[in-house]
Chain A
């Protein structure tokens, strides 16, 4: 114990052994010049990634069937966003970690009224034909139960036709087909991006509604799959094209590649995988953060003597 304390005091005390000359300002200046040159060379040689942003205009033009079907889901309340829960709505309690319902407890701080904010309001703010205006007025004057019945019945018919609304069986869908067609038309003309962002206001810097709508359809998802950006292929860690991404997120992304998290719907975590992974990463990060205070972990450098490589010359000179 006495030897251990003496060693601790020795490590803490100013060094009294051999020293060598060291020009800290010169070293920093040279390092700055070399690193700056390296950055310039890499920039000139490889530029930087910039895959063009996706738009509702492109979605409605390249895959109008999917956009149309997604619009019906938003009206029916069957989309992922409609049933998401906090912080957007109260349609579900969200994810949990055993008895901890953190998502629910944090509350609905960012309310998004899915059918109205994503479909009805953009239509209301647009110039519509007489038929479309009739459909919009019919929807608005109907009861919530009636609205849901029209939209869910139509959503089921489209699903039965493998997502192809043109092949859906006939039925009483009220104004829903006209509204979905109208929004597809507005999106294809390029107006919907701005309508969702500003919602009739002048200023807006919040893209939540756009991202939620995008996420409900296949357009964004297909683009991510094509770019190898899905969660089970290292997701956000990757970058578009052949560029390095956020490699420093490996400790988070790795859990989506291994059981039991690799399939987000499988036991034992099921759809709560996101919550468990966040807590797991928090725990592991805390371990590294407080490594000096954790017995066992803090002894690893002593047990695995990589430090002998680092201080090779000192150990050699001191015959240690």
Chain B
């Protein structure tokens, strides 16, 4: 077998195709850049990374809470503190994410084939709302009782209540600690990889240089 034949066969392998595609679209210097375009010079750009680190904080406190169970924080001062970390982490996460989202809207950040970046970010935002909502439903206190009572009517009104039951804490618990974090994690990775692949969108009024003959 000569080298040329071997190379052709290799390039048909799924593994090789994936590797080549990855290297072509997202080389390591794009994934971990050490420079940024000069126009990336506003405080608004910080909110993307702030959202990410707040999410990491939420996952850490959530993991601790998941081992101790949903009622731990009612009777333990340590549990209440960890619950507070989770609560304030979520509050900050949403503040950061909403500022990030509106910042990107006013930049029209979907320009230059970045539509998928915008949509993955928006779907991640919606998944975050779902994750937070199910978190509020498993507080096992008065607030969760009331939210379950109120929310069931909205979901039932459009038939969703047949499959998603706010009053079923077993179902909601699994959705909150397993399904939605997995979905949100995948969406976040996709979103960040797309951001790194396409780079930060240029200013709206930045123009290509026109060749003067």
Interface residues of A (CB under 8 A from B): 6-15, 17-25, 27-28, 31-32, 35-36, 38-40, 42-44, 46-54, 84, 86-87, 94-95, 97, 102-103, 105-107, 109-110, 205-208, 210-212, 214-215, 220, 223-224, 227, 229, 231, 235-236, 239-240, 243-244, 246-249, 252, 272, 274-275, 277-279, 285, 288-293, 298, 300-302, 304, 306-307, 309-315, 317-318, 320
**A274 touching B154 by the CB < 8 A rule?**
yes
| 18 additional contacts (CB under 8 A) given A9-B208, A17-B206, A278-B157 | A11-B202, A19-B38, A44-B81, A46-B88, A48-B73, A53-B141, A103-B159, A107-B162, A205-B173, A206-B170, A206-B171, A211-B149, A246-B136, A248-B129, A291-B105, A293-B115, A298-B108, A302-B204
Residue interface bits B60-93, CB-to-A below 8 A is 1, else 0: 0000000000000110000011011111110110
Complex: A109 Cα to B162 Cα, angstroms: 6
Which residue in chain B gives the minimum CB-CB distance to A252?
B154
- Given A6-B208, A215-B149, A275-B158, is A54 in contact with B142 using a C-beta cutoff of 8 Å? yes
B213 at the interface (CB under 8 A from A): no
- Given A39-B89, A50-B139, is A205 in contact with B35 using a C-beta cutoff of 8 Å? no
Complex: A22 Cα to B133 Cα, angstroms: 36
**Would you list the 3 A-B pairs with minimal beta carbon distance, nearest first?**
A205-B170, A11-B112, A106-B159
27 A-B contact pairs sorted by A residue (CB < 8 Å): A10-B206, A12-B114, A13-B112, A19-B37, A36-B57, A38-B88, A38-B92, A39-B85, A43-B84, A44-B81, A48-B87, A50-B74, A51-B142, A54-B142, A84-B156, A110-B161, A205-B170, A223-B146, A224-B146, A239-B143, A240-B142, A248-B94, A248-B129, A292-B110, A292-B118, A293-B115, A311-B39
Q: Which residues of B contact A14 (CB under 8 A)?
A: 199
Which residue in chain B gives the minimum CB-CB distance to A40?
B85
**B53 touching A18 by the CB < 8 A rule?**
no
Q: Which residues of B contact A249 (CB under 8 A)?
A: 129, 133
Complex: A244 Cα to B132 Cα, angstroms: 13
Which residue in chain A gives the minimum CB-CB distance to B204?
A307
Which residue in chain B gives the minimum CB-CB distance to A231?
B150
**B92 touching A274 by the CB < 8 A rule?**
no
**B150 touching A235 by the CB < 8 A rule?**
yes
Which residues of B133-166 have CB atoms within 8 Å of chain A's CB atoms? Answer: 133, 136, 139-163, 165
Q: Whole-angstrom distance from the CB of A178 to the nearest CB of chain B?
A: 29
Q: Which residues of A contact B158 (CB under 8 A)?
A: 97, 102-103, 275, 278-279
Q: Which residues of A contact B122 (CB under 8 A)?
A: 288-289
**B149 touching A310 by the CB < 8 A rule?**
no
Picked from B46, B91, B162, B202, the residue with its CB within 8 Å of the CB of A10 is B202
Which residue in chain B gives the minimum CB-CB distance to A304?
B106
B59 at the interface (CB under 8 A from A): no
- Given A223-B142, A249-B129, is A314 in contact with B206 using a C-beta cutoff of 8 Å? yes
Picked from A42, A49, A211, A309, the residue with its CB within 8 Å of the CB of B145 is A211
Interface residues of B (CB under 8 A from A): 32-42, 44, 46, 49-50, 52-54, 56-57, 73-74, 80-81, 83-89, 91-92, 94, 98, 103, 105-108, 110-115, 118-119, 122-123, 126, 128-129, 132-133, 136, 139-163, 165, 167-171, 173, 198-208
**B36 touching A22 by the CB < 8 A rule?**
yes
**A24 touching B41 by the CB < 8 A rule?**
no
**A28 touching B52 by the CB < 8 A rule?**
yes
Q: Whole-angstrom distance from the CB of A315 to the nearest CB of chain B?
A: 7
Q: Which residues of A contact B150 (CB under 8 A)?
A: 229, 231, 235-236
Complex: A206 Cα to B148 Cα, angstroms: 12
Complex: A87 Cα to B50 Cα, angstroms: 41
Q: Which residues of A contact B146 (CB under 8 A)?
A: 220, 223-224, 227, 229, 236
**A312 touching B49 by the CB < 8 A rule?**
no
Complex: A22 Cα to B89 Cα, angstroms: 27
Complex: A310 Cα to B119 Cα, angstroms: 22
Picked from B39, B89, B141, B153, the residue with its CB within 8 Å of the CB of A52 is B141
Q: Whole-angstrom distance from the CB of B117 to the nearest CB of chain A?
A: 9
**B41 touching A94 by the CB < 8 A rule?**
no
**B34 touching A23 by the CB < 8 A rule?**
yes
Picked from A39, A51, A279, the residue with its CB within 8 Å of the CB of B143 is A51
Q: Which residues of B contact A277 (CB under 8 A)?
A: 154
